[in-house]
Amino acid sequence: MIQAQPIWLRFLSGADIEGLAIGPADAIAAVESVVGAHGRGETVFEPRTHLVPDNGGVGHFNILRGHVSTLGRRGISAVKVVGDFVPNYQHGLPSELAMVTLFDPMTGVPLAIMDATLITEMRTGAMTAVGAKHLARRDSRILGHVGARGTAFANVTMLDGLFPLEEIRVTSRRPESREAFAARLREVTTTPVRAVATADEAFDGADILVEASRLEQPEPLLRTAAVKPGAFVVPYGTVSAVELDLLDVMDKVVVDDWRESRSGRFGALRAHVDTGRLSEQSLHAQLGEIVSGRKPGRERPDERILFWHRGLSILDVALAHLILTRAEAAETGTMLRYR
């Protein structure tokens, strides 16, 4: 009988991860690589599921599960749980708090547990950036962004690093929130940043339109009429903030994964899927097909292109693996005995 050896795993706190200084370029490269792997069929994941507690509707949990065969010597599997609690600002907390566990896919041994709040922010911003890299006009000058919390900072800063932006417009429901967001952005970019009062002002004439609102009830913030020829549109709020006829003006609609797009009760284009306005037949591509070269991205400067990403678990796996690799090299974190 083989004597069982002690099993240790690495715990990485938010402070541990921040100390590793994973930069935007690192995050974008990791996400683009795993999106390409997804397009080549080198990943396994299940659509997210939701746990909705009996809490009066203040929030819910998303459970994401994924595996990436191309990471490490044996591949990596992971499970992430992320809370989505819009009123958390009232308690001085982020609206999204997350934790991820990494596993050896050959033995089931847990390898690491880490704060995934920053991972959630970075991988979402990186996915927006990767989509824009392949689908937005390279000469995009104006970014309009609705939403000032959660993944907003990563969205704006990563897009700012990819395009020759001349103006960034931001807005959110609360004046103090959008003004603070604009001030935070001005500390890290030389691109002019303007906080505006409404989504209409943010999106007026914009080349890149990102809707990352934190609505509790559906409300049309990103109006169809705001989408000019050549625009790149990213609506990904949990609750829909777009008009039902938005897809009617789009030349191409791209998603991160069609099966994920059809799952769950939340999502910016949930009504479009449910009513058949968005279907597998009307869909242009999954982003992985474009990144891996199987389908074209932007082909004309006047194309209106929409990219809907719901947040694939494999993005969390890729960034968590990157963080674990850096942490092991730096001997960062706390080793915990599992058994």
pLDDT, tens only, 206-240: 999 999 887 667 778 889 999 999 999 999 876 67
1, pLDDT greater than 70: no
Q: What was the pLDDT predicted at 130?
A: 97
The full set of domains in the chain, from first to last, is 8-119+314-337 (3.30.1780.10), 124-311 (3.40.50.720)
299, pLDDT greater than 70: yes
Q: What was the pLDDT predicted at 73?
A: 84
Q: Are 318 and 68 in contact (CB under 8 A)?
A: yes
149, pLDDT greater than 80: no
Most trustworthy range by pLDDT among 54-63, 101-110, 143-152, 217-226: 101-110
Q: What is the mean pLDDT of residues 136-154?
A: 92
**Residue 70 token pair:** 């191309």
Among the listed residues 6, 5, 4, the one whose alpha carbon sits nearest the alpha carbon of residue 338: 6
Q: What was the pLDDT predicted at 129?
A: 97
173 contact partners, CB below 8 Å, separation of at least 6: 213, 214
pTM of the model: 0.89
Q: What is the mean pLDDT of residues 68-88?
A: 91
5, pLDDT greater than 90: no
Among the listed residues 291, 318, 320, the one whose alpha carbon sits nearest the alpha carbon of residue 307: 291
> What rounded mean pLDDT belongs to the chain?
91
User: What is the per-residue burial (b if ≥16 Cβ within 10 Å, else e) of 217-244?
Assistant: eeeebbebebbeebbbbbbbbbbbbbbe
pLDDT, tens only, 114-141: 999 989 889 999 999 999 999 999 999 9
| Helices 117-135/24-39 angle, 10° precision | 70
74, pLDDT greater than 80: yes
Q: What is the mean pLDDT of residues 78-100?
A: 90
Q: What was the pLDDT predicted at 3?
A: 66
pLDDT, tens only, 160-219: 999 999 999 999 988 999 999 999 999 999 999 999 999 999 999 999 999 988 766 777
Q: What is the mean pLDDT of residues 75-84?
A: 94
d(CA 238, CA 233): 16
Q: How many CB atoms lie within 10 A of CB 184?
A: 16
107, pLDDT greater than 80: yes
pLDDT band at 264 (very low <50, low <70, confident <90, very high): low
Q: What was the pLDDT predicted at 84?
A: 87
Lowest mean pLDDT among 41-55, 99-113, 129-143: 41-55
113, pLDDT greater than 90: yes
Phi and psi of 113, rounded to 5°? -125, 130
